[in-house]
Structure 1
Amino acid sequence: MAFTRSRLFTLATLLSALTVSGSVFAHAHLQHQYPAADAAVTASPQAITLNFSEGVEANFSGIALTGPQQATVKTGKAKRNEKDDKQLIIPIEEALKPGDYLVDWHVVSVDGHKTKGKYQFSVK
């Protein structure tokens, strides 16, 4: 059975689709966080904790935390949990006042892929 041009094109398209769809799954996706998205916490958290679907590189990952009136909140250097390379911990260096906060995060997974996102929470 000879390969015709249309069969070769179809085969090449299928292989390309499989390759591209496999790389989509290679990113570190945020699975859960503390404080949780849209949560209202009663006390100021001491850190932002982000849990991902795969390991992350702390040296190339971090957050920008903004509070009421878009004020920037000072945070410490992002660190990985020593026992879980999927968990990123970012210390908050000042007590959070009541109000709404935005976490704008970015990570690089251990395989080099970049992912970013945002979520918000509030302090009562």
Structure 2
Amino acid sequence: MTRCGLFAALAFAGVCAIGSAFAHAYPQTATPAAGSTVQAAPHAVSIVFDDELEPKFSGIQVLNAKGARVDDGHAVVVPGNPRQMSVGLKALAAGTYKVMWHATDTDTHRTKGSYSFIVKP
């Protein structure tokens, strides 16, 4: 490999390393989906992220329209899938629900967000 080629390869590797060093965990999919209307009340909320999560520093809360929690308080990173987090739900009536999540990836970068879904039997 020429000196110029070696320099280019090292520069590319450095850029890739920097990009991964600044990674953050963001949702890729959610069930129920953001903004969705579901006919049957779900028993859990599940979110799949684009990076592995630190279980002790990640969580999900689900609130009803009055601001009361309707999740079971036990959000977990799914065993065998460190990119997925879920929380069980109490029995849900028809209405709008807000999902609030916070995620800390394995590089200790923290992200948070929220979305809503509607139960309309």
TM-score w.r.t. the length of structure 2 is: 0.77
How many pairs were matched up?
105
Task: Give 1:68's aligned amino acid.
Answer: A
Which of 92, 99, 111 is equivalent to 1:96?
Answer: 92
Task: Give 2:116's aligned amino acid.
Answer: Q
**1:79 to partner: Cα distance:** 1.4
How many percent identity over aligned positions?
39
Runs (5+) with no aligned partner, structure 1:
1-17
TM-score w.r.t. the length of structure 1 is: 0.76
**1:24 to partner: Cα distance:** 7.8
**1:77 to partner: Cα distance:** 1.4
Root mean square deviation, CA, Å: 2.0
Per-residue CA distance 1:6-49 (angstroms, 9 max, x = gap): xxxxxxxxxxxx7xx73685100111100000111111111110
The structure number with the bigger radius of gyration is 1
Does the 8 Å CA contact 2:38/2:119 hold for their aligned counterparts?
yes
Q: How does 1:35-46 map to 2 (within 5 A)?
A: 35-46=32-43
Does the 8 Å CA contact 1:59/1:78 hold for their aligned counterparts?
no
